[in-house]
Amino acid sequence: MTFTVEETGRELVLDASGHATLMQVAVEADVPGIVGECGGEMTCGTCHVHVESTPAGYTAARSHDEEDMLEVVDAPAPGSRLACQLPVTPAVAGLRLRVPAPS
Ligand code: FES
């Protein structure tokens, strides 16, 4: 899976194995702009990403609580998600996420 850091244009191709969520993958790899401050409790918004491309077979529906949190993040977009709510599954390999630049 790939994270693109909008602020620098840097692209990081990461192995998600061994992690439960994409927030954990990003924090472990020190992806700039992903902090995961609340540990996945959907209260901080510091794992906000834009989904650029979703591989076939990868699904993760937004919950009501996630949608509420996404209403207050910087740079919201139609593909906005909380990376802590994106599970690592066998289908995650081709997923492409963008970390929005701070406003
Ligand atoms: S880690 Fe806090 S909302 Fe995702």
What radius of gyration, in Å, describes the C-alpha atoms of the chain?
Answer: 12
pLDDT value of residue 97 = 98
Q: Which of 23, 86, 97 to mutate to test the pocket of ligand 1 (most atoms within 8 A of CB)?
A: 23
Burial of 38 (0-12, 13-18, 19+ CB in 10 A): middle
Residue 82 Cβ < 6 Å to ligand 1? yes
102 pLDDT above the threshold of 90 = no
Look at residue 69 and tell me if it is in a domain.
Answer: no
Residue 36 Cβ < 6 Å to ligand 1? yes
Look at residue 23 and tell me if it is in a domain.
Answer: yes
Counted domains in the chain: 1
Look at residue 68 and tell me if it is in a domain.
Answer: no
Structure tokens at 28: 């472990």
CA-nearest residue, atom 3 of ligand 1:
42
User: Which pLDDT tens digit goes with each residue over 25-79?
Assistant: 999 999 999 999 999 999 999 999 999 999 999 999 999 999 999 999 999 999 9
Share of the chain above pLDDT 70, in %: 100
Question: Looking at ligand 1, which atom is closest to the CA of residue 45?
Answer: 3
Instruction: Please give the residue range of the domain that contains residue 21.
Output: 2-61+75-99
Using the 8-state DSSP alphabet, how is residue 40 labeled?
A: S
Look at residue 67 and tell me if it is in a domain.
Answer: no
CATH, residue 6: 3.10.20.30
103 pLDDT above the threshold of 90 = no
